[in-house]
Structure 1
Amino acid sequence: MKIIPKEITEALNQSYGFILQIKGIAGTGKSTLALELLSKLKNPVYISTRITPQLLYKQFPWIKEFLPEDNILDATAFELTKTPLIDEASFFKMLKMQNLPDFIKILSSKINTLPSGEGTIVIDSWDAIAILSEVSWGKKNSMLANYVLELVRQKGLNLILIEETEKESYLDYLGDGIIHLQKSLFKGNRRVRNLLLHKLRGIEITQSSYLFTLNNGKFTTFSPTRRYDFIAPTKVIPNPDNPPRISSGIPDLDQLLNGGYVSGNIILHEVQPYLAYANGWFLAHLVIQFLSQERATIGVPPTGRDHTYELNYVQNLVGPTIFKKCFRLIEPLNDKPTGPSYVIQIKPSSSLDYFEQIIQSAEDLKKHSPNQPYLFVIDVNQPAYIYDLKELQQNTTRIINLLRKAGHIFYLTADSGNPYIDNLKQEVDAHFIISQIDGKIVYYGNNPQTNLFAMDFEAKDGVASIDLVPIV
C-alpha cells in the first residue's frame, strides 16, 4: 500500500513547478486526492468554489495539520452576504469575489506571498471559475487559463486544477499532467476505483493505472502485489479466539465471518489464474495461526509443485517441535514411499475414498494435538481432474456431509475455471475469491456477499499481518 503514486510525487517535487489537471465525474475522489497531495508539499493553498473552510475542516479533519485557514480561499459565492450562521470574525475572513478581475487580483496577491519554487495551489473546481469568465467577464476561459498559468509559472509554483469532466479541454494542451479518476462496478455491485495517469510531462510513467480507495476519508493507492515483496515475519503472535468462534488470525476476515470460524465450517477459496502465490501466503497465515496454538493442521497441496519454501517458512516460525507434532502433509502414494515424518501417503480408490483417507490421516494427531477443531487445507484441483467429473459431482453432497460431520474446519482451494467449483459453491458455508486489479491482489466474498478489499501482506514489528482494506 502507498498513499500517492511515485510518478505524481516526482512530478510535483520539481523545482520549476508543475501544472496538473485532476479530471473525473462527481464523487470520484478528486478533492480528496488534491488535499492528499497538498499534505505532502510545501506552502499549500486551497481555493474552493464548493464549500467553506469550516465545512472543509468538518469533512476532512486531518487537513488541519498542514492547511491553515488563512490558506483556504473561499470562493463558494461570488456575491456573499452575511448570514446568522457565520460569526462576524469568520465572515470577514471570507473572500468576496464579485467578478473575475477580483479573483485574478486575490490569486495574484496570494501567489506573491509564496516563496519562488515552493508552493502548491489547488483550484477546486476550475469549471466554476471558467463559467465565471464566460458569464461575468465576457472572456473566453482559454484566456483566463493563460492568465492563471502565467501567474504560477512566473513563481515556479505547482498548480492543481480540478475539473468535473473526463472530456478533452483546452487546458489539456497547456498543462503538464493529466490524471483521470474513475469509479465503476466489479463483479456485480462491488465498487472499484481507478486512477489513470494520462500525461506527466518529463516523468516516466511506469504504471498507468492504480487501484485506490477513499477508506476513512483518505486517498490511498495500491502498488501491484509482487510475489517477492512479502517481508517474512520473525515471530508469531496468534490472534485470540472469540468463543465459540475460532479466529482465522486475520481480524478483517473474522469480521466478515461474524467473529471467526465454527466447527464444521467448509470454506471454498477460488483463485484466479497466476495468483497461487498469494493464495499460498494467505493459507500459510492460517496454518501458522492454528499451529501456534497447537491445533493440528493437515495440508493437501496441489501436485507437481515444490512446497519446500512454504513448509520451511511455517516450520521456522512455529518451531520444529510443534510442526512435527501437529502438522501432516498428504501426498499420493508413489514409487518412493519415503520422506519426512510429517508426510502421509495415500492411494484412494475413488473420489469419496480420497476425502475419507484425508480425514482418517488426522487420527494419529489426536494424541499429539488435543486442541480441536483441526484445520484442513485441501486443494481440490487434483481430484477434479483425476476422477470422473460426473462421479465427483454426484458425490459432492456426500463429501461435504463427510467433512462437516468430522467437525473440523476445511479450506477447499480451487482454480477459477475448475469444472468442480460450481458444485461446491452450492454446498459450502462460505465462498471467497482471490483476484487482482491493476496488479493488486483483491479479495471478496460471494457467500457472504461482501465489498471488494485490497489485500495487504505485511510484517508489522516482525509479526505476520494480512489486512483487507475496503475499496470505498
Structure 2
Amino acid sequence: MIPGEIEQFFSSQFGKSLLVKGKPGTGKTTFIFGILNELCPEGNCIYISPRIDKSSSYGKFPWIEGDFSNNEDFLRMLASRIKVIWESGDSKPMIVVDSIDSLSIATTRSSRWEDNKFELERLLSDFSRKVNADLVLITEQTEVTSLDYLVDGVVSLEVSEISDADVRKVQMLKLRGVGMSQSRYVFTLEGGKFTSFDPFRVSYPQKTAIPDSMPDPMESKISTGSPDLDEILGGGYQKGSFNLFEITSGVGDSFYSLLLPTFINHLNLGRGLLSIPSEGTSVETEKRMISPFTTGPDFPGQFRGFEIRDLKGRIPSYIAAFSGNVYKDMDVFYQAKNEMMRQHGSPLLDYIGLDSMEYNYGWENIGSIIGQMASVTKTTDNVVLAVAKHGQNITDSVAHMATTHWKFENVDKTLVMYGIVPKTGLFVAQMDFSSGYPQVRLTPIK
C-alpha cells in the first residue's frame, strides 16, 4: 500500500514527473514497484533499469530492450514503446527509470556521465510531457539539484533509528496539485513489498461480534488474544508474570484499545479481570468498551474495577471504592482479588494504571507496593499488565521488576511497538475491527 497522496498525485489526466531520492538500501526500487503494482494496469508502464537482470521478479513489467549507447537511440526506442501503449488503449503510460544515474552512464561512452545526466533529465522531462506520460526517476543523490525544481514531485526515502533498530520513512517533499494532510509515513519492506501505514486510529464498528476465545497455547502461558502478539511472545504472557507497557509522549489514551483483545479473551475463557484504570479512563468506560465483545452472563462477577469514590454516592456492583489512602486501598484491592480467586480460580488478570497510582498516592509511596505486587505475582499463575506513561518517576524502578517490558512510540502518527525485555525489532501496531471485534495487527518494520 502506497500513501494516498501518491495515488492522488498520479490520478491527474495529465502526465506527472516524480523524483524518488534515497541512499542505497532505503527501499527505492521496492517503493517504485509498489507504485507500479497499484497504479499501472498491465501493459501501460515501462520499467527501465540497466542495473537489474530481466530474469528477476521485476521482469513482469515491460522493459526497454536494445543496445543503446546514446540518448538519441534510447529516446527513439522509448518513443516506439509509448506509441504501442497509446495505440492499444487509453491508459496514460508510466515511464520508470531506475536509476537516472545508471542510465546516464549507460547512454554515454564518455567518463563525463554527469554532464550527460543533466541533458538526459531535460530530454526525458520534455519527452514525457509531449506524449502525456507519467515519469518516475530514481536517484541516489540525496542533495537538492536542478532536477528537484524540474519535476512535479519529490519523494525521499530515509532510514532512522529507534532503540538500535531501523525505522523506515517516506517523506513527500513536494507534490504539485496535492493537498497533503501528512507529509511523512512509516513503511516496511516486509515480504519484499512496500507497505506504508496510515495514522493509528480506533474506530469501533456499529455492529459488533463476539470473537472465538483463544485457549492457552501451553500450560505455562495465557494467550494475549492476539495471534500476532502471541507469536512475538512465544505463545503468550507467562503465568506469574509482571508485564510493563511504557507509553511515550504523543501516543495518548487510544493505546488502551490494544489491550482489549487480552481482556476480552480472558473474560470469554471464564476468568477474572481486575482493573485500576489509567488516568483519563474510568471503570465505566472500560466496561462499555469490553462488554459488547464478551459472552459470559457473569460479566459483572468476572470484572472488578477500582477507583477513588465518594462512599455516599451510588456505586455499581462491579466497582470497588478507593478512599485515597494507599494502604487502606490496597487492602480493598487484595480482598477483592482473593474473592475473585475463590469464585473464578486462576489465572487472574490485573490491569494497573501506574499513572493513576502515582497521581493519587505519590510515586514515593507506591514503589514498595508495586514491588510487592510484582514479587507476589511471580509466585502464582496470575498475570499483571502495568501501564506507565511518559514522564512518570516510577517507570525506571518498575522496569527492573518487569518480566517483559514493552515500549510504544508515536512515529509520524504511526504507533510503533518494540520490546526492551525481551529485546525485539520494531512493529507497527494497528487496530482492526473488520470482523466486528477488536484485533491487534503487528507488522515488523524491515
- Deviations 1:240-296 (Å, cap 9, x if unpaired)? 321122110112211222211222111011112353432210222211010011111
- Please say if residues 298 and 362 of structure 1, whose CA atoms lie closer than 8 Å, have aligned partners that are also in contact: yes
| CA separation of 1:407 and 1:47: change in aligned 2, threshold 3 A | same
Matched residue, 1:193: 168
- Tell me, which stretches of 5 or more residues in structure 1 are unaligned? 74-93
Which of 309, 314, 320 does residue 344 from structure 1 map onto?
A: 320
Matched residue, 2:45: 44
Q: Quick one: percent identity of the two aligned structures? A: 28
Give, in whole Å, the separation in 2 of the partners of 1:321 and 1:117.
58
Give, in whole Å, the separation in 2 of the partners of 1:52 and 1:45.
15
Give, in whole Å, the separation in 2 of the partners of 1:354 and 1:392.
12
Give, in whole Å, the separation in 1 of the partners of 2:322 and 2:365.
20
Give, in whole Å, the separation in 1 of the partners of 2:171 and 2:24.
16
- Deviations 1:105-138 (Å, cap 9, x if unpaired)? 2222212212165211111011112234564497
Matched residue, 1:79: none
Matched, 1:160 2:136: yes
Deviation at 1:140, TM superposition (A): 3.8
Secondary structure at the aligned position of 1:321 is classed as coil
Secondary structure at the aligned position of 1:454 is classed as strand
Which of 186, 192, 201 does residue 211 from structure 1 map onto?
A: 186
| CA separation of 1:307 and 1:145: change in aligned 2, threshold 3 A | same
Give, in whole Å, the separation in 2 of the partners of 1:265 and 1:355.
19
Deviation at 1:364, TM superposition (A): 2.3
- Deviations 1:33-56 (Å, cap 9, x if unpaired)? 11111112231211112111212x
- Please say if residues 237 and 463 of structure 1, whose CA atoms lie closer than 8 Å, have aligned partners that are also in contact: no
Deviation at 1:305, TM superposition (A): 4.1
Deviation at 1:359, TM superposition (A): 3.2
Matched, 1:9 2:10: no
Which of 32, 35, 39 does residue 33 from structure 2 map onto?
A: 35
Matched residue, 1:72: 63
Matched residue, 1:145: 121
- Please say if residues 100 and 138 of structure 2, whose CA atoms lie closer than 8 Å, have aligned partners that are also in contact: yes
Per mean C-alpha deviation after superposition, the further-off stretch among 161-170 and 98-107 is 98-107
Matched, 1:455 2:429: yes
Give, in whole Å, the separation in 1 of the partners of 2:186 and 2:288.
33
Matched residue, 1:433: 407
Give, in whole Å, the separation in 1 of the partners of 2:437 and 2:324.
39
Give, in whole Å, the separation in 1 of the partners of 2:121 and 2:438.
51
- Deviations 1:54-87 (Å, cap 9, x if unpaired)? 12x1xx6xx84xx3xxx123xxxxxxxxxxxxxx
Secondary structure at the aligned position of 1:105 is classed as helix
Deviation at 1:184, TM superposition (A): 1.2
- Please say if residues 324 and 360 of structure 2, whose CA atoms lie closer than 8 Å, have aligned partners that are also in contact: no
Give, in whole Å, the separation in 2 of the partners of 1:432 and 1:39.
35
Q: How does 1:80-229 map to 2 (within 5 A)?
A: 95-115=66-86, 118-132=92-106, 135-136=109-110, 140-186=116-162, 188-227=163-202, 229=203
Secondary structure at the aligned position of 2:13 is classed as coil
- Please say if residues 26 and 164 of structure 1, whose CA atoms lie closer than 8 Å, have aligned partners that are also in contact: yes
| CA separation of 1:96 and 1:133: change in aligned 2, threshold 3 A | closer
- Please say if residues 270 and 413 of structure 1, whose CA atoms lie closer than 8 Å, have aligned partners that are also in contact: yes
- Please say if residues 69 and 106 of structure 2, whose CA atoms lie closer than 8 Å, have aligned partners that are also in contact: no
Q: Which amino acid aligns with 2:5?
A: E
RMSD, aligned CA: 2.3
- Please say if residues 154 and 175 of structure 2, whose CA atoms lie closer than 8 Å, have aligned partners that are also in contact: yes
Give, in whole Å, the separation in 2 of the partners of 1:328 and 1:158.
60
| CA separation of 1:321 and 1:394: change in aligned 2, threshold 3 A | closer
| CA separation of 1:246 and 1:381: change in aligned 2, threshold 3 A | same
Deviation at 1:5, TM superposition (A): 1.3
- Please say if residues 294 and 369 of structure 1, whose CA atoms lie closer than 8 Å, have aligned partners that are also in contact: yes
Matched residue, 1:408: 382
Deviation at 1:347, TM superposition (A): 4.1
Deviation at 1:455, TM superposition (A): 0.6
Q: Which amino acid aligns with 1:48?
A: S
- Please say if residues 18 and 154 of structure 2, whose CA atoms lie closer than 8 Å, have aligned partners that are also in contact: yes
| CA separation of 1:322 and 1:217: change in aligned 2, threshold 3 A | farther
* Aligned pairs, number: 436
Give, in whole Å, the separation in 2 of the partners of 1:316 and 1:202.
44
Deviation at 1:171, TM superposition (A): 1.6
Give, in whole Å, the separation in 1 of the partners of 2:301 and 2:148.
65
Give, in whole Å, the separation in 1 of the partners of 2:286 and 2:340.
21
Give, in whole Å, the separation in 2 of the partners of 1:315 and 1:393.
32
Matched, 1:240 2:229: no
